[in-house]
Amino acid sequence: MTTSPRWRRIARILTDYALLTIGALLSATAVRFFLVPNQVVTGGLTGVAQLLNTFIGTPVGVVVLVLNIPLLIAGWRYLGGAVFGVRTFYTVVVMSLAIDGLAPFARPITNDPLLYSLYGGVIDGIGIGLVLRARGTTGGSDILARLIERRFGVQPGRSLLGFDTMVFTAALFSYGPEKILYALLVAFTASRAIDTVLAAGKGARQALIITSSPEPIRQAVLHRLGRGITQLEAIGGYTGATRVVLLCVVARTEIGALKNIVSNVDPAAFVIIGEVEEVLGEGFTPAR
């Protein structure tokens, strides 16, 4: 039974909000159980909230939410409209409430600096990655950087670096240089975890097959792998002869079967296989 476009859209929205929720809770867990108890400051507005918590005892989650409100309004107006605004607002609220809601139960899981830095960064990065996959953000300096880019043309990476540098400089005088070194380790680990989550399930392999037997290979790929294939005409640079080139994109797990098909049909075929970061369309990630 074919699912209607309306129900597919509803299912996609529900999936996105599930990812937003899980991502926000993971980020809150990293902050509350790994970073705050061990005085490891993060970048962005969460880092500012941690510093204020140290200086004057304000709740971390409440400060994160309050500082985000003007940025959320500006982001709604100038950046991504309703989808961006609603999803980011939802994520910030869930994360802020979770940070403070977990406070009574928060005890340092480990006192080993390497462990709480690595695991704090990994969990935070996974959470942020899930939020980004669901087309949301965790607010804060991400919105500020995009607003600065829109107004002044400054690349977001530079704005984020400048903002985080100010936060880490302030933390240097509060927590000491050793904690800042661990904070940088957290930032690096989180960035790698974010990239891993965003790339998960999206990668594929692209194959260019130069062969004298294009039709049997084309039929085998279509019927045995169920993948589309495009036939191109190419001219050899050395011989000047016209040759057929087959182009196809397959999942990582299918590359072995593809090579087996080609070797059985035409052992003399010339095959180029490359990594594809993301594929949109039928059989892969739906375009949306």
Nearest 5°: the CA angle 200, 202, 203 is 95
> What pLDDT, on a 0 to 100 scale, did the predictor assign at position 25?
95
Q: Positive or negative, the Cα torsion across 33, 50, 104, 193?
A: negative
Q: Do residues 135 and 87 make contact, with C-beta atoms less than 8 angstroms apart?
A: yes
> What pLDDT, on a 0 to 100 scale, did the predictor assign at position 81?
65
H/E segment holding residue 204: strand 204-211
> What pLDDT, on a 0 to 100 scale, did the predictor assign at position 201?
67
Of 19, 268, 275, 5, the closest CA to residue 137 belongs to 19
> What pLDDT, on a 0 to 100 scale, did the predictor assign at position 155?
64
Residue 170's CB is within 10 A of a number of other CB atoms, namely 15
Give CA–CA dist 147/143, Å, rounded. 6
31 token code pair: 């902050």
Give CA–CA dist 120/32, Å, rounded. 9
Distances 129 to 20, 126, 134, 218 between C-alpha atoms, Å = 10, 5, 9, 37
> What pLDDT, on a 0 to 100 scale, did the predictor assign at position 283?
62
> What pLDDT, on a 0 to 100 scale, did the predictor assign at position 122?
92
> What pLDDT, on a 0 to 100 scale, did the predictor assign at position 80?
61
> What pLDDT, on a 0 to 100 scale, did the predictor assign at position 202?
67
> What pLDDT, on a 0 to 100 scale, did the predictor assign at position 190?
85
Give CA–CA dist 249/245, Å, rounded. 13
Give CA–CA dist 87/136, Å, rounded. 5
pTM, to two decimals = 0.73
The list of the chain residues with pLDDT below 50 reads 1
> What pLDDT, on a 0 to 100 scale, did the predictor assign at position 243?
81
